[in-house]
Amino acid sequence: MARSKLFIPDRLRFFFSQLKERLWVKPLVLCVLSIGGTFIAMLADDMGLSSVVPEITLESVESLLSIMASSMLVIATFAVGSMVAAYASASAGATPRSIPLVIADDVTQNALSAFIGAFIFSIVSLIAVQNDMFEAAGLFGIFVLTLLVFAIVVITFVRWVDRIARLGKVVNTIEKAEKAAGDALNRRRYAPTLGALTASRGQSPGKSRPVYSATVGYIQRIDLETLQTCAETFNCHVRVTALPGTFMSPGRPLLYIERGTEHYNEEGEAFEPEAFSSAFTISSSRTFEDDPRFGLLALSEIADKALSPGINDPGTAINVIGTMVRLFTLWQSPIDKDGMRAITYDRVSVPELVIDDLFDDAFTAIARDGAGMVEVSIRLQKALGALAETDDEAMVAAAKRHSRMALGRSERVMTLPDDIDAVRRTAVFSAS
């Protein structure tokens, strides 16, 4: 039971994160609520309130609903056009990998939902009013609801105008990618093995039995509850080898089933590989939710695109480098032991993230394509120097390794000796 309590929030969190990327969800909910509001107004007539509520003329209600019906559809169409333009801007100016973050913007989705919901409410209410479905209390209820919807639409529109002016801009996309990467890194800090035992990287398979995936794509999520249940059923131990974000092919094992248990014979009788592989959600694209490396990669791509000759925007690359420093500072910051996730899946082992992989995702592309720009190279060396001053030995080693590689790239590309000397003076490894 304790396992389920810990697991269900993760499952729901992943489910709702996928729903946030579906533009039809919130508008559908608001449409249902709008239709429900019309029928709720009818209840006022059944409650005998006609004698106590102010009398509202039929013409005034029809006029308000007609204005709303004619204007909301136009505004909703305009909102969709603005959103599409923002998505195109995010794809062209930043990276296509940032599109899910832009789509999931709450203010924009709420605005579109409010506009469509108001349109549906006005149409349904107008039909009901013109067919004399309301008495005095019902008309008053519709009048109040209409004013409330108007207020919601005006407030939402004002907020949305401010947001749409920035949505899709590179700075705004960087902020969203930083938040997504920071959230994923923070969750992994407090659950480095996702609630399972720690698996040693590079461990020999031995006599373990591999389980492969029939689907080619990226792992989005691992259902450890399913793996634990399967391991208990077959009385074995599961060693996961592929974390979320890993690209899977038919020849690459998802996990290994440890042999040597009393109910696991050499012939593999009663063994069902599909039961284990079904715990892995595999798709054609990566997600930010359970894949910290994807957030770092998206930020790196934004910086790398800014360094291309066609854009030539080193300032954006420098901005991303500062973002990387904040994220890695978060990664190695002290952890509240009380918030650490307990080992819940004792028949499953999962490898931890390797800091070298995180640094490769974050800095390799920037160092390669910014090697010829002295301002970018110097800022990158200073960033790596800041990370090398931490107490994390693995992070210090990774920072020095990338400092050395970045300097090597700069020395091969730069032609002015003064620029090379300036980068050398800030290189981390040269001072060690």
pLDDT in tens, 48-101: 665 666 777 888 888 888 888 888 888 888 888 877 887 787 777 778 888 888
Fold for 200-283, please state it.
Answer: Aldehyde Oxidoreductase; domain 3 (3.90.1170)
List, for the chain, all residue ranges whose pLDDT scores fall below the cut of 70.
1-21, 23, 45, 48-53, 201-206, 259-271, 429-432
Q: What is the pLDDT of residue 135?
A: 78
Instruction: Give the pLDDT confidence score for residue 381 in this predicted structure.
Output: 96
Q: What is the pLDDT of residues 146-156, one digit of tens each?
A: 888 889 888 88
Report d(CA 43, CA 137) in Å as an integer. 9
What pLDDT does residue 180 have? 93
Q: If you average pLDDT over every residue of the chain, what do you get?
A: 84
Q: What is the pTM of this model?
A: 0.80
Domain ranges within the chain, ordered by starting residue: 2-168, 200-283, 292-341+352-431
pLDDT the model gives residue 374: 95
Are 282 and 215 in contact by the 8 Å Cβ rule? The answer is yes
